[in-house]
Amino acid sequence: MSSGGEALSKQQQMNLSKHTKIYIAGHNGMVGSAIWRKLEAKGYTNMVGMSSKALDLRKQIDVQRFFESEQPEVVIDAAARVGGILANNDYPYQFLMENMQIQNNLIDGAFQAGIEKFIFLGSSCIYPKLAPQPLVEECLLTAALEPTNEWYALAKISGVKACEAIRKQFGLDYVSLMPTNLYGSHDNFDLQTSHVLPAMIRKFHDAKQNGHAAVQLWGTGTPMREFLYVDDMAAAVVFALENNLPEHLYNVGTGSDITIKELAQTIQKVVGHEGLIEWDASKPDGTPRKLMDVSKLSALGWEATISLEEGIQQTYAWFLNNQAQIKEVKL
């Protein structure tokens, strides 16, 4: 494992100072807060973050004024409207439009302000539903998307292409990182809008509190999924920050996957739930398999280090310590 840039030339390693002004959009979210913690741990001292109340990223003029007043040197875009199958299905317009507004205002605002380094964070859902596994970066836009989250995926694809266009046309270091399924502290545990892993933690915890009642889960349990602990994602972002990566798009993941059934059993074990698991096969499974090919980033010298069980243990510990202020997503 390496978090350094041994595989990159000296020219590709950035000469950042620990005082470089870095704006993290979405710094209160799961990914943004992990990036902030990782930068602090590495000795960076000049990070900027704005709450959504202080700066509405959907409003172009507000974002432009922010760039004019703060003048960051680097932008990391970890801001997005996110959610699972249910939320994507019920609120397609918000998922498409708000994500496009947020990223367009940030990408173009940064470009217009002369910012030369931009790290755009997307999602593995940008890739076609039935793309060959493991997913390589080159399969982008080669076939149809998974319908259950195509609204979010379309927005993220347009962000990737905007960064690619700036890189191609103007030679600036605008790079996109596409993580696999992320989880960790500060995740969304609201059952109506959360992703599969935090939703399962919440369900197993609630069932345990309710006399180890049976837990009902969507689908058959057979789809394969890959999960990346958010602190590993933050480490990948810092790697992209500290190096000029040679291409515009990189997958970020562990390179290994498990079935949803195995995930449920792992979470059940960590939580200490002793009841039954009941699968509702009438509910959608989503994509049959989703595994990232992470060889491009690995070849440059970065790999994930935190195992799934260890990550789930840390996530559940955070959940237990923060139940009073568990994030509920309002739509």
Helix (H, G, I), strand (E, B) or coil at 259: strand
What is the longest distance spanned by two Cα atoms in the chain?
Answer: 61
Helix (H, G, I), strand (E, B) or coil at 175: strand
Cα–Cα distance measured from residue 78 to residue 56, given in angstroms and rounded to the nearest whole number? 14
Q: Where are the alpha helices (DSSP H) in 3-142?
A: 30-41, 60-70, 85-90, 92-112
Residue with tokens 């498990």: 258
Cα–Cα distance measured from residue 238 to residue 26, given in angstroms and rounded to the nearest whole number? 16
- How many Cβ atoms are within 10 Å of 238's Cβ, its own excluded? 20
Which amino acid belongs to residue 325? Answer: Q
CA 159 to the chain's CA centroid? 14
- How many Cβ atoms are within 10 Å of 142's Cβ, its own excluded? 11
> In sequence order, what E strands does the chain have?
22-25, 47-48, 74-77, 117-121, 173-179, 181-183, 215-218, 224-225, 227-229, 249-252, 258-259, 277-280, 289-290
| 152 among known catalytic residues | yes
Q: Which of 23, 44, 127, 152 is flagged as catalytic?
A: 152
Q: Which residues are catalytic?
A: 152
